[in-house]
Structure formats: structure tokens, C-alpha cells
Amino acid sequence: MSDATAKPFGRLLTAMVTPMAEDGSVDFDAAASLAVHLVAHGHDGLVLNGTTGEAPTTHAEEKAELIRTVVDAVGGRAFVVAGAGSNDTQHAVRMAEQAAQAGAHGLLVVTPYYSRPSQEGIFRHTVAVADATDLPVMLYDVPGRTVVRYSPETLGRLAAHPRIVAVKDATGDVGRISRQRHAMGPDFIQLSGEDMTALACMAAGADGCISVTANVAPELCAELMEFALKGDFAHALRLQDRLTPLHAAIFVQPGVCGTKYALNLLGRARNEVRLPLVPVDAPTEAIIRRAMVHAGVLNA
């Protein structure tokens, strides 16, 4: 791995979309091209087979092939993280094993959704997945999708595991960054998982960001992260002001639909999603185009 990823997982990671062909199959060539583009524009990590990658509707063979494709394309220059999330612990274990066999450098493990387990259940589930491979593990705390969340006490217990070394915090609760430093210690890696609050998380002590907007505006997001991590928050805020409408626009319609529409405008991925997701409607398209123009990533 490069020096940029000397700290596990890197500083700026893209939650990468899974490009699809017109017939709905995964477009592996487009995935490799997008991965190369993102890494060439300042991103030292990529997250595959997560929410933004449409993991709920891609299949095991597709997930493995996507990992192999991206690792082949950028594996020496970026840290490739694979989602291993399920509310079925044994299924999550198999996903972790498959990701390791396909060449992933790390795992992203979300709290078990829908089942609403206790904190003890969350703890045992996560340890089972972490014990399945030798890969470093990033926890994924996103209660807006899973309902359940890691308590500070559970995070503290998990941080004692030798391979559980990071958390993607998509709670939107900036105060948790400071509270979690006390629960897990200053060496545990905290990455913001929400673009709109990423800058505030950096100010609170987060180590980096996993960005969805970075699919569309990789250079701006990389520049923002560079200044935020140097403590130049005035400069970072000016960049955030350019990006804020785009952060909002691509999520006017929930899911990855807005991001894929924006990437289609840029010629980097087709505007294809799998049901139950559907492409954005015309009014949302207009909102996204305006936000892209405001950010400077699309000509008026």
C-alpha cells in the first residue's frame, strides 16, 4: 500500500457506486474506470458493496467480482474496503470470507438491521464477523437505516478486539466523535460517514471521511479533506459552501439514485439502478444539475 494509507483505511474514502449496464448487469469495466478516476483525484480508499454500492440487490458472485476488479485496478494505490453487512450473522461471516478471498484489504461491518438485537447481540454478531478473517474491520453506525446503533459501551468493548480498528459514524451526531474518543481511546480511527457533517466531525477530532458526494466531485472533496485535516477550517468551509447544495441534492430521493444520475451527466456511470430503487424524477434532475453547476463540476 502507498504511504497515504499507512494509517489503516486511509483519510478520504469514496462509498463507491456499482455501475450497471443498460440491461441492469454490473458494468465491471465502468467500475474499474471509476475507481481509477477517484484514486487519481486524491482518494486513498474505496468502499465497495455498501449502501451506495446497492449491496442489498447485488449478488454474491457480483460482489466478489467487483472486489477483484477494483483491487486489480487500484489495489496498489488505495485501500479497498468491502461491505460484510447482514442481519444474519452467518451470512455476514460468509460475506467477510468471500471478500477476503477476492482480495479486499478491509471489511465494513454494519449493525444488524431490522432484527433490532440487544447490545450484547450486536457485540457478538460483530465479533463473529471480525473473527472470520485476518482483515482489519471498520464498524458502520448508521441508525437511520438500521434503527439500532452501537452504544459507547459496546464500542469500547469492540475496540479491544485486535482487528476492529475503526468506525464509520453516519449518525449525524457530531458530539459522538468526542464521546467515542473517551470510549475507544484516541488511537481508534473515526471516519465521518455523512457528507453534510463531515467538516464538523473533522473539527471534533475525526480522522477522515467516507463520502458519497466524492463519486461526483472527487477533487473538491479531496481538497476539503486536505484543508480540514491541516486545521485550515476557513478554507475548508469555503469548499463546503460550494458542496453543500450537492450533498443535499443527491439525496432528495433516498438511496444512490441521485448520485448515479449525476455520474451519468459526467459520463462516468449509467443512470441504472435496481428495483426497488428507481431513477430520479425530472424535478430532482433539475435540482441535481443546479447543485453540480454551483459546485463547479458541471458547466451551466
Domain count, the chain: 1
Q: Which three cell numbers stand for residue 154?
A: 459496546
Task: Please report whether residue 248 resides in a domain.
Answer: no
pLDDT band, residue 2 (cuts 50/70/90): very low
pLDDT score recorded for residue 185: 84
pLDDT score recorded for residue 7: 62
pLDDT in tens, 108-154: 999 999 999 999 999 999 999 999 999 999 999 999 899 999 998 99
Task: Please report whether residue 184 resides in a domain.
Answer: yes
- Which phi and psi angles does 115 have, rounded to 5°? -70, -25
Task: Please report whether residue 135 resides in a domain.
Answer: yes
pLDDT score recorded for residue 4: 38
pLDDT in tens, 74-109: 989 999 999 999 999 999 999 999 999 999 999 999
pLDDT in tens, 22-46: 999 999 999 999 999 999 999 999 9
Q: Which amino acid is at 114?
A: Y
Residue 15 has pLDDT above 50, yes or no: yes
Task: Please report whether residue 68 resides in a domain.
Answer: yes
pLDDT in tens, 243-298: 999 999 999 999 999 999 999 999 999 999 999 999 999 999 999 999 999 999 99
pLDDT in tens, 176-214: 898 888 888 889 999 999 999 999 999 999 999 999 999
Task: Please report whether residue 131 resides in a domain.
Answer: yes
> Residue ranges of the alpha helices (H) in 131-186?
143-146, 152-158, 175-184
pLDDT in tens, 41-76: 999 999 999 999 999 999 999 999 999 999 999 989
Residue 6 has pLDDT above 50, yes or no: no
Where in the sequence numbering do the catalytic residues fall?
140, 168
Give the domain extent around 201.
3-241
217 Cα distance to chain centroid: 15
Task: Please report whether residue 284 resides in a domain.
Answer: no
Q: Please name which of 222, 220, 229 lies closest in space to residue 201, comparing C-alpha atoms.
A: 229
Task: Please report whether residue 293 resides in a domain.
Answer: no
Enumerate helices (H) and strands (E) in the chain, giving the number of each: 12, 8
- Domain CATH number, residue 182: 3.20.20.70
- Packing angle of the helix pair 257-265, 282-295 (nearest 10 deg): 60
Task: Please report whether residue 13 resides in a domain.
Answer: yes
